[in-house]
């Protein structure tokens, strides 16, 4: 029988996953920056500044080194090379061509990255230091003047090339963060509403939905039914085939219950091997018919596990029609009593209370 991974194993898996995501992002940054430097290389050749063009060859080589380090999972070293190249290139470009070349714009993209991964105090310390750095660079470049001056038309083109690259990359960076925020929100919503194993609603969210639905039924004067379902002899499945197989049975049963229930019903994993279904606008006869359909659906399924085992299981079900003055908890108690009767009378059956 296999055992679930311990906390250390889970931590290692999460860490590996996080490193893989960071490495993929940094790798894209390195490749994108190398592509930008190729554009600079072509530009300076066209405007007749081969010496400035060959500086970008060194930059491409540095980004190639960064990409190599990142692929080798040496993320700190790879990040350091990227930072070193970006700041050095911006300083050299500004001092050689002049402040009006707008090379310093490319450094602004580091601000959101630093703010996001550091504490507020460290982030704002970096921002203040960065402002001092830009002021010093501006003063020094204006004092020295362009060391390798370009013609005015070429300087204007370079300026707007740098601005265009900055706007494009900053927009891409903002879109990346927007996607990450959306993914985080979706993940949090799933954690708050879904059972992690089966993907069905969890107990807490079911109770919230059920309370709202029952309130609607009371206002409209319609009836509602509650079904509690339990996999028969589930402990024997775990003991005979292992907990991994038991989890696969839970997932498979959940899928078949969803398939056989009505579209307007709310299905959830109640806990352990128990499931619960709320049926709005349902009479006792309708609830019994659906319960029988669910029972037959599960009883007729052969569940094949990843280990190659074939498992058959059955459901016992308890049904309660909720009266207008009844609370959800009261209905759950009655449905549970009906489930208990199904168990004591031989399992794989439906009982109504």
Beta carbons within 10 angstroms of residue 336's beta carbon: 19
Digit-coded pLDDT (tens) for 28-87? 888 888 998 999 999 999 998 888 899 999 999 999 999 999 888 888 898 889 889 988
| Helix, strand, or coil (residue 308) | coil
The rounded distance, in Å, linking the Cα atoms of 75 and 27 is: 10
**Phi and psi, residue 103, nearest 5°:** -60, -30
> For position 9, what pLDDT does the model report?
42
Do strands 310-311 and 303-304 pair parallel, antiparallel, or not at all (unpaired)?
Answer: antiparallel
Digit-coded pLDDT (tens) for 320-346? 998 877 888 999 999 999 999 999 999
| Helix, strand, or coil (residue 111) | helix
Lowest mean pLDDT segment, chosen from 27-36, 168-177, 209-218: 168-177
Domains of the chain: 7-192 (no CATH), 203-352 (3.30.70.270)
Residue 331 and residue 282 in contact, taking contact as beta carbons nearer than 8 Å: no
Digit-coded pLDDT (tens) for 276-329? 999 998 999 999 999 999 999 999 999 999 999 999 999 999 999 988 778 889
Digit-coded pLDDT (tens) for 5-28? 444 444 443 445 556 666 777 788
Do strands 315-322 and 350-352 pair parallel, antiparallel, or not at all (unpaired)?
Answer: parallel
**Phi and psi, residue 293, nearest 5°:** -65, -40
């Amino acid at each position: 029988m296999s055992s679930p991974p311990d906390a250390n194993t889970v931590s290692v898996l999460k860490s590996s996953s996080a490193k893989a995501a960071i490495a993929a992002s940094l790798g894209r940054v390195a490749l994108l920056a190398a592509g930008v430097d190729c554009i600079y290389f072509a530009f300076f050749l066209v405007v007749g500044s081969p010496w400035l063009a060959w500086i970008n060859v060194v930059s491409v080589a540095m980004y190639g080194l960064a990409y190599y380090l990142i692929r080798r999972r040496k993320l700190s070293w790879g990040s350091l090379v990227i930072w070193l190249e970006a700041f050095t290139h911006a300083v050299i470009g500004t001092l050689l061509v002049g402040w009006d070349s707008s090379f310093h714009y490319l450094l602004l993209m580091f601000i959101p990255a630093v703010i996001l991964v550091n504490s507020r105090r460290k982030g704002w310390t970096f921002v203040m230091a960065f402002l001092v750095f830009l002021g010093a660079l501006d003063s020094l470049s204006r004092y020295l003047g362009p060391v390798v001056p370009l013609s005015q038309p070429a300087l204007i083109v370079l300026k707007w090339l740098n601005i265009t690259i900055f706007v494009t990359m900053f927009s891409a960076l903002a879109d990346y963060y927007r996607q990450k925020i959306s993914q985080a929100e979706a993940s949090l919503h799933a954690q708050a509403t879904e059972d992690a194993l089966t993907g069905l609603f969890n107990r807490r969210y079911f109770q919230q939905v059920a309370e709202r639905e029952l309130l609607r039924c009371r206002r409209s004067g319609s009836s509602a039914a509650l079904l509690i379902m339990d996999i028969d002899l589930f402990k024997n499945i775990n003991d005979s085939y292992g907990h991994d197989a038991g989890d696969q049975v839970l997932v498979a049963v959940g899928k078949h219950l969803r398939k056989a229930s009505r579209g307007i019903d709310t299905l959830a994993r109640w806990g352990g091997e128990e499931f619960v279904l709320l049926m709005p606008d349902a009479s006792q006869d309708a609830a019994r018919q659906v319960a029988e359909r669910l029972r037959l659906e599960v009883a007729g399924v052969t569940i094949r596990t990843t280990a190659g085992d074939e498992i058959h299981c059955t459901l016992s079900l308890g049904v309660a029609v909720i009266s207008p003055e009844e609370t959800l908890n009261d209905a759950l108690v009655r449905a549970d009593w009906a489930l208990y009767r199904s168990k004591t009378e031989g399992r794989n059956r439906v009982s109504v209370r």
